[in-house]
Amino acid sequence: MQSYIDNDILSCVNTLIMQGLDVVDFKTFGYMDLESRRPLLPDAIYRMYSNTKIVTSVGAMMLYEQGRFGLDDPLSDYLPEFADLSVLRADAQSLDDLEPTRSPILMRQILSHSAGLSYGFIEPTSLVDQAYLANGVSPLGETKMTLESLCHKLAQMPLAYQPGTSWRYSFGTDVCARVIEVLSGKRFDAFLQDNIFAPLGMIDTGFYVTEEKRDRFITMYAPVDLFDPMKPGMTKADDPLTGQYTRQPEFLSGGGGLVSTVSDYLTFIRMIVNQGEWRGVRLLKPETLKLMRTNQLAEGVGVQFPMWDMAGTVFGLGLALHETLSADDPAGAANEYHWGGMAGTHSWMAPKANLTGMCMTQRMPGFWHPFSHEFKRFAYDLASAG
């Protein structure tokens, strides 16, 4: 990891390895910012981006446990705007080539990115993403949207495919956040604070960084060449003192809005690894977590991005599942479950190997960067060596 700092590819990175519930290794490398070269703090604050999705999914499944919704309930039971949707035909040449949905979007499909929604930026030349962009629907940068207005906009646009028939990364988890608001009667940030952050003691996790904590907020950088991740050099992408995370946002993104620390997120991950309970606080039942780690996709459907086919990977309720190993995968990676964030915040849990890893930086984009894959390989090698 130090070589990435030395070669001016990453400004910072931390690594953490846990066996069982015990942290056996934690290291920090690099700097809070390249301008001052202040060493990376152990309690530094990170933009978590899509690691937020696991938190939101846990919150939704807490309401599921309470009987507030069923996984096969139509989404429109809770958000009526999602009734009577249209779908782009498989051979669509324009946004007018539509057909009605053959079945409603189900709650399990929202949690597993199989509802037919999209994200508006991952495949910008596609018809569905062009529709999103034309309607100002994008998770990138500051936005005037709210969870409620987002859902109304999404419901006015065509689905990318018939619900349940494929997988596409999407605003699905933001829709889950809006369902949480409707069912709980609370704003999404208040629900998370009352039901997850406060009970677990996650004191530095939220949707923005207060003034007294900004000296712990890492500067985020972008590579000088987006298409060459190993080319040295970085440019500032978000300033911790003046950027968008310095104030309460209007859009409380359940798909990517949280900031957090290694300590806070480790507490959350320990709760998951420990079957839904940590330090006397139970958020979920073991059987609910088992359900979250069960594939929800149709037969033959896997997780795939335009730039990255995640071989052998399917999706549960808020978690990716490494279901089929390749020849290069360690045996302990079977049934590993995980997700990460676009700026390079990764976490994965491997029950067969009794191993958990976290590896985080602040580089946009950093999700498909090789540093995290190298760390994971090293962690598995160390674990297998005893």
Residue 143 banded pLDDT, cuts 50, 70, 90: confident
Average pLDDT, the chain: 95
Tokens standing for residue 204: 């530095």
Task: Report angle CA 207, 210, 211 to the nearest 5 degrees.
Answer: 150
**Is the CA virtual torsion 13, 17, 23, 26 positive or negative?**
negative
Tokens standing for residue 332: 């302990």
Tokens standing for residue 63: 């309401």
Phi, psi of 289 (to 5 degrees): -65, -35
Write the DSSP assignment of 119-134 as a string of letters.
Answer: -SSSSTTSHHHHHHHH
Q: What share of the chain is helix, strand, coil (3-state, %, to 5)?
A: 30, 20, 45
Q: How far is CA 40 from CA 49, 113, 261, 332, in A?
A: 19, 35, 12, 31
Candidates 59, 56, 107; CA nearest to 82 is 107
Of 72-86, 165-179, 309-323, minimum mean pLDDT range: 309-323
| pLDDT for residue 141 is more than 70 | no
* List of domains in the chain: 2-51+196-384 (3.40.710.10), 61-184 (3.40.710.10)
Exposure string of 243-272, with b = 16+ CB inside 10 Å and e = fewer, is bebbeebebbbbbbbbbbbbbbbbbbbbbb
Candidates 47, 62, 26; CA nearest to 266 is 26
* pLDDT tens digits along 268-298: 999 999 999 999 999 999 999 999 999 999 9
How far is Cα 207 from Cα 213, in angstroms, rounded to an integer?
13
How far is Cα 135 from Cα 127, in angstroms, rounded to an integer?
13
Are 122 and 306 in contact by the 8 Å Cβ rule? The answer is: yes
Half-sphere exposure (CA, 13 Å, Cβ side) for 124?
A: 7
Q: 125 or 253: which carries more pLDDT confidence?
A: 253
Residue 142 banded pLDDT, cuts 50, 70, 90: low
